[in-house]
Amino acid sequence: MSGCPFGHGGEVSGGAAGGAPNESRQTSGFSRRGLLSIAGIGGAGAVAGLAAGFLGHDAVAATPAGATAPSTDAAVVPFFGDYQAGITTPAQDRLHMAAFDVTTEDRKDLVKLLRDWTAAAEAMTAGKPTGETGAVDGPYNAPPEDTGEALDLAAAHLTLTFGFGAGLFEKDGKARFGLEGRRPEALIDLPHFPGDDLQPGRTGGDIVIQACADDPQVAVHAIRNLARIGFGKVRVRWSQLGFGRTSSTSRAQATPRNLFGFKDGTNNLKVEDNSLLNDHVWVAPGDRAGEQWMAGGSYLVARRIQMHIETWDRTSLREQEGLIGRTKGTGAPLSGGDEFTAPDFKLAGRDGTPLVPLDSHMRLAHPDQNDGVRMLRRGYNFTDGSDGLGHLDAGLFFIAFVKDPRTHYVPMQLALAKGDTLSVDYLKHTGSGLFAVPPGIKQGGFIGEGLFS
Amino acid sequence: MSGCPFGHGGEVSGGAAGGAPNESRQTSGFSRRGLLSIAGIGGAGAVAGLAAGFLGHDAVAATPAGATAPSTDAAVVPFFGDYQAGITTPAQDRLHMAAFDVTTEDRKDLVKLLRDWTAAAEAMTAGKPTGETGAVDGPYNAPPEDTGEALDLAAAHLTLTFGFGAGLFEKDGKARFGLEGRRPEALIDLPHFPGDDLQPGRTGGDIVIQACADDPQVAVHAIRNLARIGFGKVRVRWSQLGFGRTSSTSRAQATPRNLFGFKDGTNNLKVEDNSLLNDHVWVAPGDRAGEQWMAGGSYLVARRIQMHIETWDRTSLREQEGLIGRTKGTGAPLSGGDEFTAPDFKLAGRDGTPLVPLDSHMRLAHPDQNDGVRMLRRGYNFTDGSDGLGHLDAGLFFIAFVKDPRTHYVPMQLALAKGDTLSVDYLKHTGSGLFAVPPGIKQGGFIGEGLFS
């Protein structure tokens, strides 16, 4: 890799939309697909002069100049901003999340990696490759600086969201990277919750990266290239694909369904809830010395929740709805109304018992039962092969962003793990992570810069 | 489950497109989403009369009658036909494939399952639920007959393709289900190929089902419901998600890229290649007694091919292109031209060696080097978490349909496993399956009917 992996970006003019576009994918003006179309044109023109069997490497010379890259693209979510993207961004349909162990102990190496990741993330979220690909540029005798599988694809609303685990701050009781006293108090070690069956290979990690996109290949490409750039400094600890979002984060989105077949996240915090986001999601500038770098950040809770879907599928509709507290069809509370009607937890049926059962998931997870705390959920459905026992290994990869997990996650999860029949009988938590998500990155800055300055 | 799971289909009129549509999903006239929209309307109207806390179950009564289901839908691939769908169907972007072990030994049970699966597959490929969902119909005290997570989604070009493994015909040397002498000769036990590292939990299976769709949730929903319907008769042996197709099966599709970043399947057989399909994909009516039921069928080869992507990513572009035999940018053969130019295996460069290296994958896999045999490939990129060694577990889930694996797969794979530097150094086969794919299903018939009559 050369020092500045994006030095060639300016030499390529975008906008050529030739070739056979894939009907299900969006075009963008200055996109990887644009690059490739140019390569196609250049490659064909270069055939006559072929000498050593490689095409396309001179294609830039054959590119008509003059077109300039448009500054915005409908499928591009800006990487820079006050907050990191991928939190209140309207939830994309596909996820690839990976947690890394940092293997270097050198602070300079770590900062360089965060700078390199910042540059690569900016490029990829804009639909550009992470460097010279070999399609239109780049040295022939070195590895390409982008792995190429997203060359023909648009930006696809890719967002990349970075978080730091406790292990970045200390290992075996000793501070790392000169970060003595910098671990935020809210970045706790999560307690063991009743029923937890956490697998070490799906739990923890020093750094997490959440890649969300409309196209899974774009999300996988992003994680794979960040892992590639981190070679020798980080190792993949776990990685998780999600195929269907289970929350909306904007009122413009319809509520999706989880693998229990129910609408999920109806009461989720949404990007339109500005003051609620400040109350529940964004970390406020605090007084505590050494924590100012987290202002505008958040905490990411990740839980891999395996669902016993075969047992669920043999449960009556009556029982399913009672366990959830909502109807399966419309998602309305069992106390009546439609999906967005506030539940009436006191309303009782003819037999005198509440219509929303006392042990229902919706009741136990509701803000009214949890000191009014709210979360911004951003989870995904997953299916990872089979469980080796004749069933699909399927469930919900829970992701939530909260201001402080001590108030906004742990109490509720304790209540659910103890009292929620759904959690006790139908769910198993097999992976877990808690990460401090720094604020947004400014142009010229890098991920988590405040922690290192 | 009631005897006829689709008895209520005719009572629901389609076409209502209310609600908040998900912008990325297509609507269909008589779809699951249509059903749900009706449920929404009915549910809201029924609130006033709410007594026992369940909504929507009476919604059919509130549904305006008169609309009739359209017979075609742009996102519906017909389930019935001369050949099974999902072979020459233009390759959809997402895959969920599962192999099942049959646990019953009762022929009647097996035939009933194949009939039930036929009915469910017909419904789901048309964008309908597999039975009463509880959204608008169905008994309240029984499990829903559809799990519900695709209720709001369109048909999404779902295809379901069924195949039979050797284990359906015999187990421990003894025939099963009265199928003595019915195992096709071409349904061989695949030989051990050099370098194979097959995991039992990813290999074999008595029945395979390939679900392909534009939307992964639709594909997963289909496999999950077929598994649900098979409860007590079959167990999931393995299941595999694929997020990006690696082949085109129609000239209208652009060639996609695999996780090596190269275009894959340029020379794939396509639906437009009618006579070639007869020569290489479809089983012809044969003379051998007991095998006539396979006429119009095919053989499905599935291979889970793990890629050593980290090693690959540190390989120079020159070496990568030499290993593949094509340029990375345009996918043109190293002998020149563009992507679809026929390679010239004799053309040598200035140093006298062939421009398409002797050990390149494209040369060794090319029909010219394999007695002219062709395959219809239909594989997918996959990423399954991490390998536990600090890397992503990623690769290509190879799927091919051939007329006879003895002539159309085994010789080529032997050549690749021995002589292809790409296969030897960068690939590891970790799962494998070979399945006899019966011909298409006629209305009123069932999957593999010819085998049981």
Using one digit for the tens of pLDDT, what is the confidence trace for A259-290?
999 999 999 999 999 899 999 999 999 778 88
Question: Which pLDDT band, with edges at 50, 70 and 90, does A71 fall under?
Answer: very low
In A267-296, the residues whose Cβ lies within 8 Å of chain B are none
Q: With residue B162 as reference, give the H or E element that holds it.
A: strand B159-164
Question: Do the Cβ atoms of A317 and B139 come within 8 Å?
Answer: yes
* Residue A369 confidence (pLDDT) above 80: yes
The one-letter code for the residue type at A48 is A
* Residue A42 confidence (pLDDT) above 60: no
> How high is the ipTM of this complex?
0.85
In B153-212, the residues whose Cβ lies within 8 Å of chain A are 201-202
Helices (DSSP H) in B325-434: which residue ranges? 361-365, 405-408, 410-419, 421-426
- Token pair, residue B289, equals 């007694």
Question: For residue B381, which residues of chain A lie inside 8 Å, CB to CB?
Answer: 149, 217, 220
Whole-angstrom CA distances from B34 to A254, B290, B443 are 15, 45, 24
Q: Judge whether B317 is closer than 8 Å to chain A, CB to CB.
A: yes
* Cα nearest neighbour of A218 on chain B: B244
Question: For residue A241, which residues of chain B lie inside 8 Å, CB to CB?
Answer: 241, 243, 383-385
* Residue B1 confidence (pLDDT) above 90: no
Best mutation target among B149, B258, B315, B345 (most A Cβ atoms within 10 Å) is B149
With a CB cutoff of 8 Å and minimum separation 6, the contacts of B91 are B212, B245, B247, B248, B249, B250, B253, B378
Query: Per residue in A27-48, is it b (16+ CB within 10 Å) or e — as a string?
Result: bbbbbbbbbbbbbbbbbbebee
Of residues B42 and A185, the one with the higher pLDDT is A185
- Cα angle: B390, vertex B395, B399; to 5 degrees: 155
What is the C-alpha to C-alpha distance for residues A314 and A318, in angstroms, rounded to an integer? Answer: 12
Question: What's the alpha-carbon Rg for chain B, to the nearest Å?
Answer: 24
Question: Do the Cβ atoms of B147 and A309 come within 8 Å?
Answer: yes
Residue B227 has, within 13 A of its CA and on its CB side, a CA count of 31
To the nearest whole Å, the CA of A320 is away from the closest chain B CA by 8
User: Is A76 within 8 Å of A28 (Cβ atoms)?
Assistant: yes
What is the C-alpha to C-alpha distance for residues B158 and B92, in angstroms, rounded to an integer? Answer: 8
Q: Judge whether A136 is closer than 8 Å to chain B, CB to CB.
A: yes
Question: What pLDDT, on a 0 to 100 scale, did the predictor assign at position A32?
Answer: 61
Question: What pLDDT, on a 0 to 100 scale, did the predictor assign at position A26?
Answer: 35
User: What size, in residues, is chain B?
Assistant: 453
What is the C-alpha to C-alpha distance for residues A266 and A251, in angstroms, rounded to an integer? Answer: 10
* Residue A296 confidence (pLDDT) above 70: yes
Q: Judge whether A75 is closer than 8 Å to chain B, CB to CB.
A: no
Helix (H, G, I), strand (E, B), or coil: what is residue A112? Answer: helix
Q: Above pLDDT 90, what percent of chain B? A: 76
Question: Do the Cβ atoms of B336 and A50 come within 8 Å?
Answer: yes
Question: What pLDDT, on a 0 to 100 scale, did the predictor assign at position B74?
Answer: 75
The DSSP code sequence of B4-27 is: STTTTGGGS------S---TTS--
* Cα nearest neighbour of B311 on chain A: A228
Average pLDDT over residues B138-142: 79
Question: Do the Cβ atoms of B142 and A261 come within 8 Å?
Answer: no
Question: Do the Cβ atoms of B381 and A217 come within 8 Å?
Answer: yes
Report chain A's mean pLDDT, rounded to a whole number: 85
User: What size, in residues, is chain A?
Assistant: 453
With a CB cutoff of 8 Å and minimum separation 6, the contacts of B338 are A40, A43, A44, A47, B330, B332
* Cα nearest neighbour of B98 on chain A: A385
